[in-house]
Amino acid sequence: MRFAARVEVRLRPGIADPESATIERALPALGFDDVGKLATGRSFRFEIEAESEARARERAEALATRLLANPVMEDAAVSVSPVESP
Amino acid sequence: MRFAARVEVRLRPGIADPESATIERALPALGFDDVGKLATGRSFRFEIEAESEARARERAEALATRLLANPVMEDAAVSVSPVESP
């Protein structure tokens, strides 16, 4: 069975995030003074071939923590769902 | 009211994505030959002060399409939900 996985990699709380701070500082001058607490991250979507959803999740988490995120500075949030067959 | 917004910016279909292609090509050698169709993107989370969820969504979409995504090459998917009051 094929599963669709989505991984969102974000900096851990407390890690300096100058990119987000810069965007946030620019927003009021650009007309978005109603926006705050901005945080940036990276997203990955992929498909996994696995015999069960639990196994697909395990593989997606292994990929996310071993290759996509830097565990010293980053957290990875993983979600997995079955791909509808065509 | 405060709303939490999440924006995922991804390359439009058909736009060359060498970063994803490179990751995908490396995966089998790293033990992930069960993974395919990888696509990368950028994610943004922020909070918006607005009088209604519809208005918050409108503002989040304006921010996403005007500032966070490059509409020539990228699509932005926006989701908005109320922030639970503390």
Summarize pLDDT for A68-84 with one digit per residue, the tens. 999 999 999 999 999 97
Give the DSSP H or E segment for A61: helix A53-63
Q: What is the pLDDT of residue B54?
A: 96
With b for 16 or more beta-carbon neighbours within 10 A and e for fewer, the A48-58 pattern comes to bebeeeebbbe
Residue of chain A with shortest Cα separation from B8: A43
Flag if B45 and A30 touch (Cβ within 8 Å).
no
CA B21, chain centre distance (Å): 19
Structural domains in chain B (count): 1
Nearest to B63 among A8, A32, A50 (CB): A32
- Closest residue in chain B to residue A1, using alpha carbons only: B34
Minimum Cα–Cα distance from B43: chain A residue: A41
**For the domain that residue B14 is a member of, what is the CATH number?**
3.30.1280.10
Q: Does residue A4 carry a pLDDT above 70?
A: yes
B85 pLDDT band, cuts 50/70/90, is: low
Q: Is B37 on the interface with A (CB under 8 A)?
A: yes
- What would the pLDDT profile of B20-45 be if each residue is shown by its tens digit? 999 999 999 999 999 999 999 999 99
Which among A64, A66, A12 has a CA at the least distance from the CA of B40? A64
| Count of CB pairs separated by less than 8 Å, A with B | 84
Q: Give the model's confidence band at A85: pLDDT under 50 very low, under 70 low, under 90 confident, else very high.
A: low
CA distance A55 to A51: 7
Domain residues for the domain of B7 are 2-82
pTM (2 d.p.): 0.89
Upper half-sphere CA count for residue B42 (Cβ side, 13 Å): 15
In the predicted structure, residue A41 carries a pLDDT above the cut 70: yes
